[in-house]
Amino acid sequence: MHNRKHIVRRALIATPFCAALAAPARAQAAYPSRPLKLIAPFPPGGTSDVLARLLAQKLTELLGQPVAVENRPGAGGNIGHELAAKSPADGYTLLLSNSSSVVTNPHLYRRLGFDPLNDFAPVSMVAAAGQVLVVHPSVPATTVAELTALARTRPGQLNFGSGGKGIQSHISGEMYKAATGVNIVHIPYKGTIQAVTDLVAGQIQMVFSDMVPAVPQIKAGKLRALAVTSPQRSAVLPEVPTMIEAGVPNFDASVWWSITTPRGTPAEVITRLNADLGRVLAMADVRESYAKLGVAPVHSTPAKVTETIRAEGPLMARILKAAGVEPE
């Protein structure tokens, strides 16, 4: 009898301790228990926005909770990144980041409202793509060589639009200027889609554009494609040569996207999201949608995102310095 009472007493003492151990497990298993937010730091309609909505839809299915896209454009992606950096690190705020914002902007702005390396906990790469150099049909150039020759005869008279200072469409233009010695004037917009809209209207002469806003206009004959900026031709514009093929040596201006979270987000949440993104990027319909966008699916470890930012930062600093672009 004594032994049985002792055993019962020990069991009663152990029960609260076991419950305490089980509580974190239940909390962890419950993620996500409410809707998530995915910040897209660029305007609706562009590649970043389309990618964000596609990924949000698929994550909604896998996570069992709504993932709502929140567009926060402006300042070359800085506004959306700053908002994400200051959000709670609870796994319910995601950010579709890109290389322009985290690799280029630190060298373009003297003051950022976020630190690309210290304010975020990356989840995974999700996409990579080149751009297409498009001109208005009124521009008397059907090749990059002809455009370069034209620009040399009209120094300071031709304008190129971009999605904003520091966005890849801006950097591609600066790289083109540095490689060819032409004097063309940068006109920044709040998003590449706005730049393309003005290009179609004839307000500017050229844009290094994402595929999403440019391809329909190319197909409709409203814009002329001269070259793509990736080392390989694009699947959506296979007839368009690369900048390298068009006579600009070693020209590689690509952009990549990643999903990231505020620093301090629990490791188990990062692991869960990384695995789910891997499943999303392997889906046949997602890969088909990516192909139509002119982007390639990329899945990676969280560490790979950080490594890429560290590796590309100094290279971008050299490109900007060579182009004479000073931080503001």
Reported as a single tens digit per residue, the pLDDT across 246-256 is 999 999 898 89
Q: Are 311 and 146 in contact (CB under 8 A)?
A: no
Q: What angle do CA 261, 293, 238 make, to 5 degrees?
A: 140
Confidence of residue 12 (pLDDT cuts 50, 70, 90): very low
Token pair belonging to 196:
């393309």
Q: How many other CB atoms are there within 10 angstroms of residue 47's CB atom?
A: 27
Beta-bridge partners for 121: 261
pLDDT-based confidence at 26, cuts 50/70/90?
A: very low
Q: What is the pLDDT of residue 72?
A: 95
pLDDT at 303 over 70: yes
Domain segments of the chain: what residues? 30-128+257-322, 132-228
Predicted local distance difference test score (pLDDT) of residue 164? 83
Cross-sheet strand order for the sheet of 93-98: 67-71, 36-40, 93-98, 255-262, 120-129, 296-297
Taking the C-alpha atoms of residue 72 and residue 255, their distance in angstroms, rounded to an integer, is 19
Q: Is 23 exposed, middle or buried (0-12, 13-18, 19+ CB in 10 A)?
A: exposed
State how far the Cα of 141 lies from the Cα of 143, in Å rounded to an integer.
6
216-253 burial, b at 16+ Cβ within 10 Å, e below that, comes to ebbeeebbbbbbbbbeebbebbeebbbbbebebeebeb
**pTM of the full predicted structure?**
0.76
Mean pLDDT over residues 310-322, rounded?
A: 89
**30-128+257-322, what's its fold?**
D-Maltodextrin-Binding Protein; domain 2 (3.40.190)
Choice among 9-13, 238-242, 259-263 with the minimum mean pLDDT: 9-13
Domain covering 132-228 assigned CATH 3.30.450.20 in the classification: no
pLDDT at res. 325: 78
pLDDT level of residue 13 (50, 70, 90 thresholds): very low
How many CB atoms are closer than 10 A to CB 110?
A: 9
Q: Is 259's pLDDT higher than 60?
A: yes
d(Cα 161, Cα 191) in Å, to the nearest integer? 10
Yes or no: say if 131 and 228 are a contact pair by the CB < 8 Å rule: yes
Cβ–Cβ under 8 Å, residues 91 and 31: yes
Q: What is the pLDDT of residue 226?
A: 98
pLDDT at 293: 87
CA neighbours within 13 Å on the CB side: how many for 10? 6
The chain-wide mean pLDDT, for the chain, equals 90
Q: How confident is the model at residue 5 (pLDDT cuts 50, 70, 90)?
A: very low
SS3 270: helix
Could you tell me if 95 and 79 are in contact, meaning their C-beta atoms sit under 8 angstroms apart? no
User: Which is higher by pLDDT, 229 or 16?
Assistant: 229
- Are 217 and 134 spatial neighbours (Cβ–Cβ below 8 Å)? yes
Mean per-residue pLDDT, 94-111: 93
Higher pLDDT, 164 or 135: 135
Handedness of CA 75, 104, 232, 140 (dihedral sign): positive
Percent of the chain with pLDDT over 70: 91
Local structure of residue 35 (DSSP, 8 states): -
Please determine, for residue 323, whether its predicted confidence score (pLDDT) is greater than 90: no
Q: What is residue 7's predicted lDDT score, i.e. its pLDDT?
A: 45
**What is the per-residue pLDDT for 29?**
54
Q: Closest by alpha carbon to 257, among 1, 90, 38? A: 38
**The token pair that represents 235 in the structure block:** 């699947």
Q: For residue 225, what are the β-bridge partners?
A: 134
Tell me the pLDDT band of 45, cut-offs 50, 70 and 90.
confident
**pLDDT per position as a tens digit, 157-172:** 999 999 887 778 988 9
Q: What is the mean pLDDT of residues 219-237?
A: 95
- Region 294-300: mean pLDDT is 93
Tens of pLDDT, residue by residue over 175-199, are: 999 999 999 999 999 888 999 999 9
What is residue 27's predicted lDDT score, i.e. its pLDDT? Answer: 41
